[in-house]
Amino acid sequence: MQVQLRRPLKVYPGCYFYLYFPFAPFRFMIRGYPMNVAWWNVADAEGSGYSSELLFLMHRRGTISNIAERDGGFRKTFLDGPYEQNLSLQEYENVILTAKGPGIVGVLPHALHLAGRRLHDDRQRMGAPSSRTLHRGKTRKVDLFWILEDNSQQRWLHTELRIL
């Protein structure tokens, strides 16, 4: 589910939101669904951490997808958050991220964050005009291992992995 925000929010790896669906039946409307952000707009977030577009990964079958079907798509979604769990991976030289199946949602933002910091620093060193300073993270190498439970899972984040 791709969510377009009215104003940019600070997004960081490990953050999650509670999603509320106002067009759902009442018992689902008042209950928030916690979801990790799987991806955000890298061009917006590079260096600043702010993004106006978020991507959440969810199953095709289940409560939330049933609500979307009844609604004809997510016309309006309310977000509560972001809530955080900052692991500060930029403080380590070698980072190994592992995931199995849908667990990729938990580790992909960390890889995106580290890559965005590195891209920002590289552009600053090349002389790109900006008022921001260098991040100077310690990370030199990031390995991402994703074990697929089914070959169809590689389509979930095909575009995002190419961008990364």
Q: What is the pLDDT of residues 5-37, one digit of tens each?
A: 888 888 888 888 888 877 766 666 677 888 888
Mean pLDDT of the chain: 80
The percent of the chain in helix, strand and coil, each rounded to the nearest 5, is 35, 30, 40
- Spell out the SS3 assignment of 74-88: CCCCEEEEEECCCCC
Which pTM does this prediction carry?
0.65
* Residue 9 to residue 44: CA distance in whole angstroms: 10
Return the sign of the alpha-carbon dihedral for residues 40, 18, 61, 77.
negative
The pLDDT value given to residue 69: 65
Span 124-142, average pLDDT: 75
Give pLDDT tens digits for 36-48: 888 887 655 555 6
Span 139-153, average pLDDT: 90
The pLDDT value given to residue 73: 57
* Residue 163 to residue 105: CA distance in whole angstroms: 16
Alpha carbon dihedral 71, 75, 80, 86, in 10-degree steps, equals 100
